[in-house]
């Protein structure tokens, strides 16, 4: 299936490095980052999973749970986790889904269409899912390029901010920077709504300090 932004993502029950896992039950009322990797014991992914483990406190501050996936089985995952912990000087503290039957990969459209390994290679995909189980972001990376998880934290910050305030975030925005007033709010109303001030660069481009800071 082809998931679009705003779609409710499908639920699934699947084995994992921590045992059988029902995705909706595990996610609860948290935000979720679900990310796939081509296979266990691969070098780029080893560094990625180590970085994610080290960001545990940052994810927790944002009410985010993380979960990884590959088509290898749970025993393989557990062996690989030992390597990740050793080589990346961390402790993997989140589940890795065992998707040997490719059920989840197929549900979420993770299978690389031009894989040289016989249609078993999951692409390096990322899904950000909100507490309502709606898909809010998807990014697909080539297998040779490691992901930037600081960018994913930045996106979470933006999504959580813009869900509750009538702003958008400009290019290269980071938490604490000025925000864009959404076009649907007239400038006179914006000045009432945002008491910290509104700077009108152009009638369609108005900036205001981050409302929740």
Q: Which two tokens stand for residue 21?
A: 């896992």
Respond yes or no: is residue 45 known to be catalytic: yes
Does residue 194 share a domain with residue 104? no
Domains identified in the chain, total number: 2
Residue 19 clears pLDDT 80, i.e. is over it: yes
Name the least confident of 24-38, 68-82, 111-125: 111-125
Mean of pLDDT over the chain: 93
Catalytic residue among 21, 27, 34, 45: 45
Q: What is the CATH number of the domain that holds 201?
A: 3.30.1020.10
What is the average pLDDT across 153-176? Answer: 97
Does residue 187 share a domain with residue 109? no
Does residue 170 share a domain with residue 74? no
* pLDDT (tens digit per residue) in 28-61: 999 999 999 888 999 999 999 999 999 999 999 9
Q: Which of 135, 103, 149 is nearest to 122 (CA)?
A: 103
Residue 208 clears pLDDT 90, i.e. is over it: yes
Does residue 169 share a domain with residue 87? no
Does residue 174 share a domain with residue 138? no
Range of the domain at 68: 13-147
Does residue 178 share a domain with residue 73? no
Does residue 44 share a domain with residue 142? yes
Q: In which band, very low, low, confident or very high, does the pLDDT at 117 lie, cut at 50, 70 and 90?
A: very low
Does residue 101 share a domain with residue 33? yes
Residue 63 clears pLDDT 70, i.e. is over it: yes
Does residue 57 share a domain with residue 92? yes
Does residue 181 share a domain with residue 102? no
């Amino acid at each position: 299936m082809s998931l679009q932004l705003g779609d409710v993502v499908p639920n699934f029950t699947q084995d994992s490095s921590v045992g059988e896992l029902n995705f909706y039950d595990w996610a609860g009322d948290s935000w979720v980052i679900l990310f796939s990797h081509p296979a266990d014991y691969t070098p780029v992914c080893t560094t990625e999973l180590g970085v994610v483990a080290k960001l545990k406190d940052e994810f927790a501050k944002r009410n985010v749970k993380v979960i990884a996936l590959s088509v290898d089985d749970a025993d393989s995952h557990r062996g690989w986790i030992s390597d990740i912990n050793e080589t990346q000087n961390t402790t993997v503290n989140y589940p890795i889904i065992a998707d040997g039957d490719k059920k989840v990969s197929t549900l979420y459209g993770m299978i690389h269409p031009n894989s040289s390994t016989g249609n078993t290679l999951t692409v390096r995909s990322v899904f950000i899912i909100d507490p309502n189980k709606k898909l809010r972001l998807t990014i697909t990376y080539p297998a040779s390029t490691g992901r930037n998880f600081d960018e994913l934290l930045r996106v979470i910050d933006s999504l959580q901010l813009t869900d509750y305030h009538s702003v958008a975030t400009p290019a290269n925005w980071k938490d604490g920077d000025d925000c864009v007033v959404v076009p649907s709010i007239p400038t006179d109303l914006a000045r009432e709504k945002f008491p910290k001030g509104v700077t009108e660069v152009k009638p369609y481009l108005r900036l205001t300090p981050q409302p929740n800071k």
